[in-house]
């Protein structure tokens, strides 16, 4: 496992991105999805990422979650440069440090909720008895214990997403990433999911959530906006504009 840097003084960022670019190549077609993204996320922050469809939000999330590679720039997660890690170290980081929640829940249909939530613990090598104990604790935190023997097709969308959050949290990751987690839910269920995220954040979790809903973004302490692959606004004022783009430059000068 990669060593973590111990910090003395003020908290170190969980995430430090510098000058990150990403271009997709499909045959002869190229599409640059991220342009020069620099971003710091500090422990305990609740950040919402907003932006039009196709602006690069999911691409950014996949890079943050180590599900995809950047082309250039630097990504330091918990003090370790991702680019320096071996495949095994990366797999470990994905399992131990990062929890994911997706719009489509991604629960396994043949497993009960308890088994779904215990799954990350299987990969982490936790013993069976302890797995179910810890999975039950995670289900309790999202108020689903009495549904633990049910399968995903027997519960509502809101319940599925709560189970998915429990699964993301079983290993108590440093970072919780959610890509439009309320996109498939009715307003009431979305409100419940938002409440779960807010409670997790109050208990200390660092959360990054992509959303189209201004109401949901407002609940996060920090809002970042992405347009055409660029970070164009950061409500914290810390990361915008990017370092090498002085404020006030005419728009047509901003291409590199
Ligand atoms: N795997 C891929 N291969 C090629 N192009 C992709 C791929 N994933 C995303 N894109 C393109 O990159 C752009 C940004 O996509 P995405 O990050 O999913 O945007 P968002 O989540 O903001 O809607 C889109 O134009 C999309 O078509
Ligand atoms: Mg997306």
Q: Please indicate whether residue 24, judged by its CB atom, sits closer than 6 Å to ligand 1.
A: yes
Question: CA 38 to CA 24: how far, in whole Å?
Answer: 19
Instruction: Give the model's pLDDT for residue 31.
Output: 97
The pLDDT tens digits along the chain (256 residues) read 555 545 455 689 999 999 999 999 999 999 999 999 999 999 999 999 999 999 999 999 999 999 999 999 999 999 999 988 888 888 889 888 999 999 999 999 999 999 999 999 998 899 999 999 999 999 999 999 999 999 999 999 999 999 999 999 998 898 999 999 999 999 999 999 999 999 999 999 999 999 998 989 999 989 999 999 999 999 998 765 544 554 444 444 444 4
- 7, containing H or E segment: none
57 pocket-lining for ligand 1 (C-beta < 6 Å): yes
Q: What is the pLDDT of residue 249?
A: 42
Cβ of residue 123 lying under 6 Å from some atom of ligand 1? no
The residue segments making up the domain with residue 154 are 104-172
Most distant pair of Cα atoms in the chain: their distance: 61
Examine residue 32 and state whether it is found in any structural domain, yes or no: no
Contact 103, 82 (CB under 8 A): no
Task: Scan for tokens 């997790």, then name that residue.
Answer: 200
145 is a domain residue? yes
Pocket test for ligand 1, best of 54, 183, 230 (most atoms within 8 A of CB): 54
Query: Residue whose CA is closest, atom 24 of ligand 1?
Result: 54
Q: How far is the CA of 11 from the centre of ligand 2 (A)?
A: 30
**184, part of any domain:** no
In a domain, 219, yes or no: no
Residue 162 lies in a domain: yes
For residue 233, being part of any structural domain is answered with: no
Interacting residues of 24 by C-beta distance below 8 A, sequence separation 6+: 30, 31, 32, 33
Pocket test for ligand 1, best of 20, 22, 48, 58 (most atoms within 8 A of CB): 58
Query: How is 44-99 classified by DSSP, letter by letter?
Result: T-EEEEE--TTSSHHHHHHHHTTSS--SEEEEEETTEEGGG--HHHHHHHHHHTEE
Sheet holding 175-179, edge to edge: 98-102, 175-179, 206-210, 46-50, 222-227, 230-234
Closest CA to 184 of 160, 167, 205, 154: 160
* 209 occurs within a structural domain: no
Q: Is residue 146 part of a domain?
A: yes
Any atom of ligand 1 within 6 Å of the Cβ of 230 = no
Q: What pLDDT is attached to residue 255? A: 41
Number of structural domains in the chain:
1
Residue whose tokens read 């901003």: 254
What does the pLDDT read at residue 151?
98
SS3 198: helix
Q: Are strands 230-234 and 222-227 parallel, antiparallel or unpaired?
A: antiparallel
Closest C-alpha among 163, 157, 147 to residue 182: 157
Q: Report CA(100)–ligand 1 centroid distance (Å).
A: 18
101 Cα: distance to centroid of ligand 2 (angstroms): 13
């Amino acid at each position: 496992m990669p060593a973590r840097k111990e910090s003395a003084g003020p908290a170190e960022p969980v995430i430090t991105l510098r000058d990150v670019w990403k271009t997709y190549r499909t045959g002869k077609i190229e599409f640059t999805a991220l342009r020069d993204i620099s971003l710091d996320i500090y422990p305990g922050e609740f950040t919402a990422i907003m932006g039009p469809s196709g602006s690069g939000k999911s691409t950014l999330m996949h890079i943050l979650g180590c599900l995809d590679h950047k082309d250039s720039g630097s990504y330091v997660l918990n003090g370790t440069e991702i680019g320096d890690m071996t495949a095994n170290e990366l797999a470990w980081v994905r399992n131990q440090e990062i929890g994911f929640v997706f719009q489509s829940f991604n629960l396994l249909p043949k497993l009960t909720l308890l088994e779904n939530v215990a799954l990350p613990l299987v990969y982490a090598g936790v013993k069976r008895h302890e797995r179910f104990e810890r999975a039950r604790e995670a289900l309790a935190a999202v108020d689903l214990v009495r549904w633990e023997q049910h399968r995903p097709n027997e519960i509502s969308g809101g319940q599925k997403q709560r189970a998915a959050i429990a699964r993301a949290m079983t290993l108590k990751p440093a970072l919780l990433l959610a890509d439009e987690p309320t996109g498939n839910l009715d307003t009431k269920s979305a409100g419940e999911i938002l409440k779960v995220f807010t409670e997790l954040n109050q208990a200390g979790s660092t959360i990054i959530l992509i959303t189209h809903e201004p109401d949901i973004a407002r609940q996060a302490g920090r809002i970042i906006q992405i347009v055409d692959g660029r970070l164009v606004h950061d409500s914290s004022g810390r990361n915008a504009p990017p370092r090498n783009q002085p404020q006030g430059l005419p728009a047509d000068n901003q291409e590199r």
